[in-house]
Amino acid sequence: MREEIRTRLEVLKGIHTNLYENDFLLTWRQSEADLRAVILTAEILERFYAANLDARAFRGGLAVSIFRDKSTRTRFSFASAASLLGLSLMDLDETKTQVAHGETVRETANMISFLTEVIGIRDDMFIGEGHEYMAEVSEAVAEGHRQGVLPQKPAILNLQCDRDHPTQTMADLMHLERTFGSLEELRGRKIAMTWAHSPAYGKPLSVPQGIVGLLTRFGMEVVLAHPEGYGLMPELGEVARRQASESGGSFSVVNSMAEAFEGADVVYPKSWAPYEVMRQRTEYLRAGQADKLEALEKEGLAMNEKHKDWECTEELMATTRGGTALYMHCLPADITGVTCEAGEVAESVFDRYRLATYREASHKPYVMAAMMLCNRFEHPDRVLFRLRSQALPRHYTD
């Protein structure tokens, strides 16, 4: 294991990235080298953990989380990444603070950052808001650092915004790499990122957007499928098309789940809200129009109900390549007959892939820790080499 770490560190050393002190907010704004460096660092950290090696590059300092939406897995992944690197977790709970009382984002960002190395933010509820908020926090701490207020510039981690969910999709990419052997092995493989029915309203678009925005870079045949009216943010189509053409892959949008599944190597059936509904929702919320919001929710749910046939069934799975496509999900899934009456996936399909989806999720803490390391250190390979040489046990063995 220690030898595996060494060879990977040699590769990492050779990758020239732009990650140091630059915030990784949207995968499609990062170079391929950036993506490869993060994945490689995450893999090295997984091996550190397995080899019982202490990976604490920090001796104290804060990892701050700001969750503007409920979260279990992302919250725990972030806490795990912080602990892995030696940082103390601190949650900015906006209900307990004065944030709601007119403080400006710029000021708060600096006030929480005097000894802070990382700020992880989840803000995925409103189209046109999440990414802007992260960019605003990023600029605020950058100014604070330039002006000598902050001794260091905390890394901003996108824990899910309205546009992208990079810690999820990078973990998904690691799962694909593990499943098919390498990133190169993804070339030419077909992935069906499809809408699926859910009884819930208002699920974010960041996962499907993030998936088509990331996987089109690796030469995959990416097919996005959804009922009419469930399109993604328009810019994503352009991004996906351009990237697919550059990487030698393809990107297409269809309105049929069956067409997407046909011969697919990978399927990712998952519900999301219609972009137009989400956009209007933000507008009504800003205007405080509660009655219109309520009507919109009803409309959204009624739209969903028309597409109960968008379910990942055994019949559909049988049409994939060899009938054995990899089923993926960011969890929790809406499982028909288990967590709801009519959901995204049939019980027997989910059951077969349940543990695989757990493994898919297991990469998230390491992806987050890798993003932290690559942002906060100019040469993460040197830091990790040093930690490997030091070779302190993560826990005492007996």
Chain residues 138-157 in contact with its own copies, contact rule CB under 8 A: 144, 147-151
For residue 211, CA distances in Å to 144, 158, 277, 281, 311 come to: 34, 15, 21, 24, 19
394 touches its own copies (CB under 8 A): yes
Residue range at the interface with its own copies (CB under 8 A); choices 24-32, 128-136, 316-324, 330-338:
330-338
Task: Quote the CA–CA distance of 16 and 36 in Å, as a whole number.
Answer: 10
CB 240 within 8 A of CB 216: yes
Q: Out of 262, 340, 342, 347, which residue is the one contacting its own copies (CB under 8 A)?
A: 340
Nearer to its own copies, 58 or 251 (CB): 58
Peptide bond preceding 332: is omega within 30 degrees of 0, i.e. cis? yes
Nearer to its own copies, 371 or 387 (CB): 387
Task: Quote the CA–CA distance of 274 and 388 in Å, as a whole number.
Answer: 48
Q: Which two tokens stand for residue 80?
A: 């795990």
CB 304 within 8 A of CB 197: yes
Mask of contacts with its own copies, 343-362, x by CB under 8 A? -----------xx--xx-xx
Nearer to its own copies, 229 or 393 (CB): 393
Q: Which two tokens stand for residue 365?
A: 């803490």
Q: Out of 54, 259, 262, 299, which residue is the one contacting its own copies (CB under 8 A)?
A: 54
Mask of contacts with its own copies, 370-389, x by CB under 8 A? ------xxxxxxxx--xx--
> Helix, strand or coil for residue 121?
strand
In whole angstroms, the minimum distance from the beta carbon of 261 to its own copies comes to: 24
179 touches its own copies (CB under 8 A): no
Q: How many residues does the chain have?
A: 398
Nearer to its own copies, 290 or 392 (CB): 392
Task: Quote the CA–CA distance of 271 and 203 in Å, as a whole number.
Answer: 7
253 touches its own copies (CB under 8 A): no
In whole angstroms, the minimum distance from the beta carbon of 206 to its own copies comes to: 15
Task: Quote the CA–CA distance of 177 and 87 in Å, as a whole number.
Answer: 29
Nearer to its own copies, 79 or 127 (CB): 79
341 touches its own copies (CB under 8 A): no
Neighbours of 247 (CB within 10 A): 19
> Helix, strand or coil for residue 299?
helix
Task: Quote the CA–CA distance of 202 and 397 in Å, as a whole number.
Answer: 48
CB 303 within 8 A of CB 273: no
In whole angstroms, the minimum distance from the beta carbon of 297 to its own copies comes to: 16
395 touches its own copies (CB under 8 A): yes
Q: Out of 132, 284, 339, 342, which residue is the one contacting its own copies (CB under 8 A)?
A: 339
Query: What φ, ψ does residue 206 adopt, rounded to 5°?
Result: -65, -30
Residue range at the interface with its own copies (CB under 8 A); choices 63-71, 216-224, 243-251, 289-297:
63-71
268 touches its own copies (CB under 8 A): no
Nearer to its own copies, 29 or 394 (CB): 394
In whole angstroms, the minimum distance from the beta carbon of 273 to its own copies comes to: 16
Contacts of 382 (CB under 8 A, 6+ apart): none
Contacts of 31 (CB under 8 A, 6+ apart): 17, 18
CB 40 within 8 A of CB 8: yes
Mask of contacts with its own copies, 78-117, x by CB under 8 A? -xx-xxxxxxxxx-x---xxxx-xxxx--xx-xxx-xxxx
398 touches its own copies (CB under 8 A): yes
Nearer to its own copies, 93 or 314 (CB): 93
In whole angstroms, the minimum distance from the beta carbon of 190 to its own copies comes to: 27
